Structure 1
Amino acid sequence: MYGGVLVKSTTHRECDATAFVNSIDSLNVPVPRVVDIITIPRLIRAYFNCCNIGDNEGSVLLLMTTLPGKPLGSALNEFSELQQQHLITQLSQFFGSIRAISQPSNMVCGIGGRGCASYIMSLDTFGPFDSVPSFNAWMSLRAQSRLGLERAASLPERIDTAETRFTHGDLTPFNILVDEEGNVTGVIDWESAGWMPRHWDPALVSYSISK
């Protein structure tokens, strides 16, 4: 319910990322506000559905404000073509606002210089990396181990010159909230946010749609 408080079992990673995006005045899409954080002792962690990513982060209960609307993934078919075009415009503005956040360095990393997180790539964190070429080298090795040298050789050429941008990291239709009129009312689940190559979010969105 909008105006209430939601409790989510997660890690400090999501707490810090949510607090960070809340601190950005230029972000033109609402995000949950952190109300409190309660550390979960390791002995009782199994009783909570904590995410696997970043076990060294520590498990917490994140108390945050709720946002209005329902997931775009369950509402898109209800909108007219005009409303869908309006959604595209809003999401384009949102992408622009988070990509405009100034970057602290050329590192590929999570909030505060910690490791990166992506459920598509790994159930654990990876990195941080001091540059995009270093990140791409790790990605190439990972592709070779998964696909074999012959198939990995056919992959697209690495983009070592790509700039880093702040990204959501898990921008699926179910992490975007909308109202009945087709207005974006919030973006949730920031645990995979960080500084990644500029093509990272669009690539992940394309992958999610293809699945």
Structure 2
Amino acid sequence: MEIPSENFMHPEDSMSDLIFEPENTIRPEAVVERKKQLGVARRKLKDHELCWACGWTNLHQMSSSYNPRLKIVTTRENMGIWALGSKYLLKDFPNDGSSPGNDYVTHRFLQSQPNSGVPLLKEMQLLSKPTDKTYLLLMSRSESKSLSSIWPDVTIKQRLDLRKQMLKILQDLRKFTASGAQTVDGGKLSDYILGGCSVTRPMCKTIGFDTEEWFANIEEELRVGLEKIHETKDPIIIEREYQKLKSNFPKSEPYTLTHGDLTLGNIMVDENIQITEIIDWEHAGYYPWWAEWWFSRMQAQDGSRPLLKPVFPLLEHSMNLATFDTEVLDPVGKVIQAWQKCDIAHPHYLDRWLRPPFSASEPYDGEFVLGHMGGITKREHVIKRSP
């Protein structure tokens, strides 16, 4: 959404269908009469809300020259981002018990590192406390464009240069390592790799500090899945296959700082196609060295693969594409297959409240889905076992 600059003398820049009336304009009689009627009506009006999302009322509409500089930019589940004028954004999302906004803590960590080399937004400030029910995160707005908005027009030469830039950024990011999987402030990482349920945050499973703990977190589901794959409940066979998943699993060390969502929409570039910011560090943390590559290969659906695919083999602790497929994608895929074979239920996740139409003239309804509302620290997660 484009937010116009704060040119207060020209409200027509940000609002359509306005009619300009110079001072001392002689109004038609019908307009004069209508204004009189509205004046009488205004004195009798009771304050009535027109928009439940922003609280705008009939009295606001009729009694001020206020044109809000706060606008909704995007929404997802029970989260929203507001534009505060043209230079700031406010992220509004429920507190699910994670570290106080992983985007914020990762940004703060990288900003505190001298010469980190990772391009970031200029400002980010958490306005709420960790115990508040709602997180409010204030951030400066990038003056650049997302790479996704211009990608089709980027030339081959420019794409080659972008790969060089991304290689440098990833090299700088991966200088930061930890002894195990965690957020930069030591919190748990949601498991979007092996134990990913089809739910929104909070996720049911977290990534273990090491591979042993990671498997322990999802062992019960894996064993049920293996029973279905091999069509047996023989404990000896299931134990053998479970140990095979563990022994074939790629080594996790070193645990390197990982963005986790390097889509084109999270890479901001200026008019010279130079990367100015990497944004949205919501999933960031110390993951197994191969995780950034895995996220790009398996979860990115926006066309970022052609940009990043040639970059990953050039990174330290990496390997060529064919070897990565054999030593990482295939064994990780086997674990995911076993997980997905386990039938899991999330009772009441899809319970919902149906919204009424927005108004008589705008008959758009919607719904509040219980599982999307957030503000909880743990989901109900039930394994459905066959007889």
Instruction: Provide the residue aligned with 1:46 in structure 2.
Output: none
Structure 1 residues 90 and 140: CA distance shift in structure 2, 3 A: farther
39, 42, 45: which is aligned to 2:128? Answer: 39
Q: Which amino acid aligns with 1:175?
A: N
CA contact (8 A) 1:107 1:131 kept: yes
Task: Give 3-state SS (helix, strand or coil) of 2:162's partner.
Answer: helix
Instruction: Provide the residue aligned with 1:81 in structure 2.
Output: 156
Q: Larger relative contact order (C-alpha < 8 A, sep ≥ 6)?
A: 1
Structure 1 residues 117 and 130: CA distance shift in structure 2, 3 A: closer
CA contact (8 A) 1:36 1:64 kept: yes
Deviation (angstroms), 1:85:
0.2
Query: Partners of 1:139 and 1:197 in 2: how far apart?
Result: 17
Q: Does 1:25 align with 2:25?
A: no
Q: Which amino acid aligns with 1:37?
A: L
Instruction: Provide the residue aligned with 2:295 in structure 1.
Output: 204
Counterparts of 1:69-108 in structure 2, within 5 Å, are 69-103=144-178, 106-108=179-181
Q: Which amino acid aligns with 2:149?
A: S
Q: Using structure 2 for the length normalisation, give the TM-score.
A: 0.44
Deviation (angstroms), 1:175:
0.8
Structure 1 residues 143 and 67: CA distance shift in structure 2, 3 A: farther
Structure 1 residues 180 and 110: CA distance shift in structure 2, 3 A: same
Q: Does 1:116 align with 2:193?
A: no
135, 139, 145: which is aligned to 1:64? Answer: 139
Q: Does 1:5 align with 2:88?
A: yes
For structure 2, list consecutive stretches of 5 or more residues without a partner in the other structure: 6-85, 231-240, 303-387
Structure 1 residues 35 and 167: CA distance shift in structure 2, 3 A: closer
Task: Give 3-state SS (helix, strand or coil) of 1:202's partner.
Answer: helix
1:81-104 deviation digits (Å, cap 9, x = unpaired): 11000000100111110100143x
Deviation (angstroms), 1:63:
0.9
189, 193, 196: which is aligned to 2:284? Answer: 193
CA contact (8 A) 1:132 1:163 kept: no
For structure 1, list consecutive stretches of 5 or more residues without a partner in the other structure: 41-54
1:115-170 deviation digits (Å, cap 9, x = unpaired): 1136673532543633233224546665666787528x697931135321111122
Structure 1 residues 162 and 139: CA distance shift in structure 2, 3 A: farther
Query: Partners of 1:18 and 1:143 in 2: how far apart?
Result: 35
CA contact (8 A) 2:191 2:207 kept: no
Task: Give 3-state SS (helix, strand or coil) of 1:186's partner.
Answer: strand
Structure 1 residues 65 and 91: CA distance shift in structure 2, 3 A: same
Structure 1 residues 56 and 149: CA distance shift in structure 2, 3 A: farther
Deviation (angstroms), 1:68:
2.6
CA contact (8 A) 2:181 2:287 kept: yes
Task: Give 3-state SS (helix, strand or coil) of 1:16's partner.
Answer: helix
CA contact (8 A) 1:5 1:65 kept: yes
Instruction: Provide the residue aligned with 2:305 in structure 1.
Output: none
Structure 1 residues 168 and 144: CA distance shift in structure 2, 3 A: farther
Q: Does 1:133 align with 2:212?
A: yes
Task: Give 3-state SS (helix, strand or coil) of 1:91's partner.
Answer: helix
Query: Partners of 1:166 and 1:57 in 2: how far apart?
Result: 28
Structure 1 runs of 4+ aligned residues shifted over 4 Å read 55-58, 139-149, 153-156
CA contact (8 A) 1:32 1:67 kept: yes
Instruction: Provide the residue aligned with 2:67 in structure 1.
Output: none
Q: Which has the larger displacement, 74-83 or 12-21?
A: 12-21
Task: Give 3-state SS (helix, strand or coil) of 1:9's partner.
Answer: strand
Query: Partners of 1:144 and 1:69 in 2: how far apart?
Result: 48
CA contact (8 A) 2:144 2:276 kept: yes
Structure 1 residues 186 and 134: CA distance shift in structure 2, 3 A: same
Deviation (angstroms), 1:33:
4.0
Structure 1 residues 175 and 155: CA distance shift in structure 2, 3 A: farther
Calculate percent identity across the aligned residue pairs.
22
Q: Using structure 1 for the length normalisation, give the TM-score.
A: 0.75
Instruction: Provide the residue aligned with 1:44 in structure 2.
Output: none
